[in-house]
Each structure stands twice: as C-alpha cells, then as structure tokens.
Amino acid sequence: MKTHTRNFKLLVITFLYSVTIYAQDNNPKQIVLDAINLMNGITSKSTATMSVVRPKWTRSISMRSWSLGNDYNMILITSPAKDKGQTFLKRENEMWNWIPTISRIVRIPPSMMGQSWMGSDFTNNDLVKRNSLVNDYEHTLAEGETIEGYKTYKITLTPKKDAAVIWGRIILYIAKKEHFILKGEYYDESGTLVNLETQTNIKHFTDRDLPSKLTIVPVKEKGKKTVLEFEQIEFNVSIKKDFFSQQNMKSLR
C-alpha cells in the first residue's frame, strides 16, 4: 500500500510539473515578451536601410541605431544628405528628434505618436512603445500557420480597457521553436485590416537567428510599402544608460 501511495504521489508531482512547464511554454504574453527580447537583446547596435516605396517614387534612408533593453533607443540617420545627422532618442515612453539644420531638439508629443516616421509606414509609436505589445494588451493563444517552413503560434492581442494604443487588434505569428515574429496583422477599431507586416530573410547575428528584412504593406493603399533591411546587428555590446542623452544626440557621427 505504501508503495502504491508513493507511486501515486510521484505521478501527481510529475503531472503537475508537466502542466507547469506546458503552461510556461504556452503563455501567450510570455511568448510575445520573448520575441521582443530576442529582437532587442540586452544591448545592441545595428546598421539598416529603409526603403519607402510609393506608386511613383522610392526613397531610401540609411541609419545606425543603438539600444539598451526595451526602454532606450537611439537612431542616427546617415543618408540621404538632406536628412543626414538627424537623430531620434527614445527614453522609456518619451521621444525626441535632433534636427541639425535648425540646431534644435524637438520633443515629439503624444498627439504625434500615431504619425508617420520619416515618411514611412512606421509610426513614431512603433519606435517608442515596444513594451506596449506586452503591457497594454490581453493575449490569446491559438495554433498558427506554417510560414516559410516555420511552425507558429497565433497570438491575438486585444487592447486593455483605457490603454493608450492606436490599434484595435493585433495578430502576431511567432515561430514556436525560434521565437521570432514572422507576420503581424494590424487592425483598426472597426476590425478592418490596416497594415500587414512580414519578417523574412533569416540570418545569424552574433548569437541568434533573426529575420533581417521587415516589410509593412498598407493593405488598402495600392503600390505602397516600407521595407527595413538590417545589414548588421551586434548584440551584447558595451553601452550604458547615459549614452541615451539629449546631449549625445548632437554629437553622434
């Protein structure tokens, strides 16, 4: 009888442990957080080119960027010549723009967070509120589709009551094993799909695999898209919080 009791207790403990591990692996909020942390790292620096495509023209913008976790980010525009030297600083939920042609730092107010960044299909809000995907939404998990050979989780993000967000709903497809985002669907408050995001061209950067190409397509605006391609990303670089200062915005080269 004692042996049976011990075996039963062991079975219960094993079952509860398995359930706990399964719950952790299938916690949709944690999956989204893991994807964001994978993309940002503890610290990073990168070089990238953004192409803004419109029906009658295409514009390319080159940039360098630095990050510390999810709360600190600096972006330096290196070309074209008319924009060269512009710098964008994000500290937690605030954002500033250094404009060298007028020697002025401009704070970007909350009323402008939904506006286009550098004429692209990204918004200022996209640069500042990365943590918003974790903190401002409720998350629901479902089985996702297979994208370019990767099995995915389908996670639906629904805004919390009174959350200051611009999307009425977001659906993310995140690779189960690799943890990176492969596709995102962004809906307005009426449930209409506005932007479709795809992440492709998986490459190895420092110590992880990540998509190197991010494409945003406004689905109802024919001939428009924005493509962001990372040429280099270096993680675990030596960088401190004081790097992300307004004073440093003016001196970056």
We report the CATH number of the domain holding residue 162 as: 2.50.20.10
Domain that holds residue 121: 3-249
Task: Please report the pLDDT score of residue 12 as a whole number.
Answer: 44
Task: Please report the pLDDT score of residue 3 as a whole number.
Answer: 52
Contact indicator for 225, 214 with CB cutoff of 8 Å: no
Per the structure, the count of domains in the chain is 1
Q: Determine the Cα–Cα distance for residues 151 and 78; give it in Å rounded to an integer.
A: 37
Q: Determine the Cα–Cα distance for residues 230 and 83; give it in Å rounded to an integer.
A: 19
> Which stretches of 29-176 are assigned E, i.e. beta strand?
43-54, 57-68, 72-79, 87-91, 94-99, 104-107, 137-147, 150-159, 169-175
Q: Residues 138-149: pLDDT tens digits?
A: 999 999 999 999
Task: Please report the pLDDT score of residue 18 as a whole number.
Answer: 39
Task: Please report the pLDDT score of residue 16 as a whole number.
Answer: 41
- Residues of the chain where predicted confidence (pLDDT) is lower than 50: 8-24
DSSP H helix total and E strand total for the chain = 5, 13
pTM of the full structure: 0.85
From residue 231, how far is each of 13, 33, 62, 127 by CA, in Å?
49, 24, 10, 19
Q: Which residues contact 144 (CB under 8 A, 6 or more apart)?
A: 151, 152, 153, 154, 173, 174
Q: Residues 65-114: pLDDT tens digits?
A: 999 988 899 999 999 999 999 999 999 878 999 999 999 999 998 788 78
CA dihedral over 115, 116, 121, 125, signed as positive or negative: negative
Mean pLDDT of all residues in the chain?
A: 89
Contact indicator for 64, 93 with CB cutoff of 8 Å: no
Task: Please report the pLDDT score of residue 4 as a whole number.
Answer: 53
Task: Please report the pLDDT score of residue 131 as a whole number.
Answer: 67
Counting every residue written for the chain, the total comes to 253
Task: Please report the pLDDT score of residue 164 as a whole number.
Answer: 81
- Please give the single-letter amino acid code of residue 232: Q
Task: Please report the pLDDT score of residue 118 as a whole number.
Answer: 93
Task: Please report the pLDDT score of residue 11 as a whole number.
Answer: 47
